[in-house]
A = this chain, B = another copy of it.
């Protein structure tokens, strides 16, 4: 087991248990690597890096290098990159294996290595590491400490897990599942991950009931106003989830050129306007043909357009603001957005209805 995987396994044990296991490791170097790794905070590059790597010093000759590399390679599953450091472990660059094999044995490494290398710091967060490796198609990245000394490396297989977990987490939050659960978890864990969002929906439903309750007298006179309650609520929810998902994905992949809010609202306004006009005109056509109440027909279409515009802007705005305050924007997708848009949709719908019927 490489040090990073070993540290992962030990990380879930209690402190005493961890100590006990480590004290039974025969290989002192291996044990001290693992202890080092346990110090790094979860979610940082340090916590997912492995200590095993191949590094050579710039003042070595090719023949020393080959001899040392053979020793080092015994502990390394895949070499990927030969790192070049000075005698204080400061990372200088990398050495091509091909170049090494084609060079006379007396040559110094400093004459043949390639200086400069993309690095990450031990405290860089893993999502940043993942995005960087994905962007540049790296299979391994060196990790350096505050002053640039090589302390470990992160390989792409560790990062694949980070990328997958991140995408799954966003997806789950958007679906109203608050913890990382999967089908194999027991009924109690699945319930616990799902119930909080349902309670939020319940609270939203109670607010909705109170809003409609304000219009009880109107409903008695014009019960047809109730017909389109589900439509208004559903469309607000759908549009809000769509627009927030686009923002959350943009933030996750760091594809935004800037984090300015206004241009994004402007673009969403255009998209919502087109979608809203299409939907409103269709529903107007439907109501003009099948409904007897002109008042209701106009109410539904105007309210629908307003709700779609509002929901789109709200779904864009909230995740951007959350992100600004370092709160996970994915929290804003799914049930939260749906619930808020349900309530505001009802307010808009009945307010317009009262105006039309007045």
Give A residues with C-beta under 8 Å from B.
70, 73-74, 78-80, 97-98, 101-102, 133-134, 137-139, 155-157, 159-161, 163-164, 167-168, 170-172, 174-177, 181-184, 187, 190-191, 194-195, 197-199, 201-202, 204-206, 208-210, 212-213, 216, 219-220, 223-224, 226-235, 237-239, 241-242, 244-247, 249-250, 253, 255-256, 264, 267, 270-271, 274-275, 278-279, 282-283, 286, 308, 333-335, 338-339, 342, 346
Contacts and interface: CB of A to CB of B under 8 A. Distances in A.
A65 to B, nearest CB: 13
Nearest to A80: B78
A264 to B, nearest CB: 7
A288 to B, nearest CB: 13
B70 A101 contact: yes
B249 A182 contact: yes
A202 B250 contact: no
Nearest to A280: B202
Contacts of A246: 177, 181-183, 190
A263 B163 CA distance: 30
A275 B167 contact: no
B245 A177 contact: yes
Given A182-B253, A205-B234, A274 B191 contact: yes
A79 B270 CA distance: 49
Question: Which 4 A-B pairs rank lowest in CB-CB distance, beginning with the nearest?
Answer: A205-B231, A167-B167, A175-B245, A208-B230
B286 A206 contact: yes
A194 B190 CA distance: 30
Contacts of A202: 231, 235, 279, 282-283
B183 A250 contact: yes
Contacts of A181: 246
Given A187-B267, A194-B242, 4 more contacts: A159-B160, A174-B174, A204-B230, A208-B231
Residue picked from A181, A274, A308, most chain B C-beta under 10 Å: A274
B238 A338 contact: yes
Residue picked from A101, A191, A250, most chain B C-beta under 10 Å: A191
B201 A226 contact: no
24 contacts: A73-B97, A73-B98, A78-B139, A134-B160, A170-B171, A174-B174, A174-B175, A183-B247, A183-B249, A190-B246, A191-B271, A194-B271, A195-B275, A198-B238, A199-B282, A202-B282, A206-B286, A208-B234, A213-B224, A220-B220, A223-B223, A230-B346, A233-B233, A237-B237
Contacts of A208: 227-228, 230-231, 234
Given A183-B250, A229-B230, A246-B190, A199 B279 contact: yes
A63 to B, nearest CB: 14
A332 B80 CA distance: 42
Contacts of A286: 206
A67 to B, nearest CB: 11
A282 B104 CA distance: 80
